[in-house]
Structures are given as C-alpha cells and as structure tokens.
Amino acid sequence: MMKNISDAQGLFIKNAMNAPYLERDDEHQLALDWKNQQDQQAYNKLITAHMRLVISIAAKFKNYGLSSSDLIQEGHIGLLEAAARFDPDREVRFSTYATWWIRASIQDYILRNWSIVRGGTSSAQKSLFFNLRRLRAKLYQQDDILSEPQIYQQISDTLGISKKDVEMMDSRLSGGDVSMNAPVASEGDGQSITQRQDFFVSDAPLPEDIVSSDMDSAHIRDHIKIAFQCLNDRELHIIKARKFCDQSQTLESLGQGLGISKERVRQIENRALEKVKSELMKQDQSLKYFFS
C-alpha cells in the first residue's frame, strides 16, 4: 500500500515537473480568461503550470517531520487560493503572487501539526519558528565561540523578539512532545508504574475538598436564610446593602435613601448583626464568628 502511495506521488511530481512553462503573455491571458469568463480550462492550465513551484517550496520545509505529500497538498491549496485572488491587471507575474500564498499555506499547516501544543500564532512568533535554526547555524559559522546567551541575544535583535521568547522557542524545537502518561520508572513489581504526571503537583484543591466546601457553603446559606427572618424590612435592607452586595453601599448613601443619618444607619446595622449572630448560634455554635 505504501509503495503504491509513493509511486503515485512520484508520478504526480514527474508530471508536474514536465508541465510546460508559461510565457508572461500566455500566463496573463489565462489569468484574464479565468477572471473574466470563468474559463475552467484556462484555470487548470494556470494551476498545472505552477505545480512545480509548489513542489519546490514544499521541499524547503522537509525538515519539520511532516510528509512531503502533505506539504505539497497544502501548498496546492495555497496555489488555488492565489489563482482565485489574482488580479491579472496588476503588473506582477502570477508565480510571484502565488509564492506568498503557497508558502503561507504550508507554514500554517506546519504550525498546526508540528506539535500538539499550539504556538507561533503571531507574525513575530511565526518568523522566529521558521528562521531560528537558520539564524543559529549562520551565527555558528560566523563565530563558533559564541555562547548560548549571546546567540539568543543576536537572534532576538535580528527578529525584534524578546530573548526569553527565543529561548522558549529553541527549547520547543529541541525536543518533541512527551505524553504526561509516559512511564518513567517501575516500582519493581511490574504493576506500579510512575508516570511523568506524578511529578507535577497541582495547587488546586482536591475533589473531595471541593465537594466538602460546596456542602459547607450550602449549609451556611441555609442557616443565614433562616437567621434573616428575625430582621425587619429596614434591617434586612441595610444588611444586604452592606454585606451582600458586590459594591458595599456607604452609611451615608443608605442614610440618604432611608431619610436618616449615617450614624443611625450604623446603629441599625450593628443591632441587626447582633440579632443575626444570635440566631446563627442557636442553630450552630460554629457559626458564631461568621460576621466577625
């Protein structure tokens, strides 16, 4: 099966490389026929004549661990996009215009599939991803005694990216993805296996703690609801405005709304809190410090 796929790919590449070149005037006329008349035959000739360009560009990205057939397929998609968008009235060759779309399509595919961890979303990060190895090799050739920090700094200056981003990208390119479930050691009995995830400690509460906290919160809410029944309407209004709002109201604003002084509001609040505390203690002694 794999041999058949390889043979088919080889035949495709051979046919693409043997397709006739287009002169500038022929290329321009085909693009005009496609744009103005939607001539499918002209469109097919334009695409076929430039498949060698797709293959050539795809070959430059062969070192990213992805199959050449997939890279060519993505480049072909970019070529189709270029043909759909190309304006033959502009003084530019179709191959020049299509090169950008082909390369962009292949690069996007590599970024999506090179790692399960999404990265390189900004233009600066994409430039770093695709130029880091080349710039590193170039710097080594110029001066083989440069230290790693010096190399990172020069790449940072060249691309206009922080040194920290360069270091992080270099680390990602140096190693592949590793599963957190991958075993790293055995306990000796052949059954107890230590996985990478066992070395990562989470600061999040344990599931049983979350459930317990939720039950405690519901327990307190029920008690407070019962305790509030001892308050009159004005006391309840003040307590809710002072203790249970996202933005607590001031004594002065409450006093203006109720037509009383802020000192009177403070007195009512303190009296209401004492009444609620008393009711809460009747229900559960552990709640006596709830409003402290």
Residues 39-76: tens digit of each pLDDT = 899 888 899 899 999 999 999 888 777 888 889 989 99
- Is the pLDDT assigned to residue 250 strictly greater than 70? yes
Where do the structural domains in the chain lie, given as residue ranges? 7-113, 123-174, 211-287
Q: Tell me the CATH class for 7-113.
A: mainly alpha
| CA dist list (Å): 120 to 34, 114, 198, 287 | 35, 11, 29, 52
State the fold for domain 211-287: Arc Repressor Mutant, subunit A (1.10.10)
Mapped onto helix, strand or coil, the DSSP state of residue 261 is: coil
Mapped onto helix, strand or coil, the DSSP state of residue 186 is: strand
Give burial (CB, 10 Å; 0-12/13-18/19+) of 57.
buried
DSSP 20: P
Spatial CB neighbours of 191, under 8 Å, sequence gap ≥ 6: none
What the block records as the tokens of 170 is 């270099």
Question: Any idea which of 10-14, 58-62, 106-110 has the lowest mean pLDDT?
Answer: 10-14
74-83 tens-digit pLDDT: 999 999 999 9
What pLDDT, on the 0 to 100 scale, is given for residue 159? Answer: 76
The one-letter amino acid at 143: D
- Stretch 98-127: mean pLDDT: 74
Position 102 confidence tier, pLDDT thresholds 50, 70, 90: very high
**Alpha helices, DSSP H only, in 114-198?**
123-142, 148-159, 163-174
- Stretch 112-129: mean pLDDT: 64
* pTM over 0.75, yes/no: no
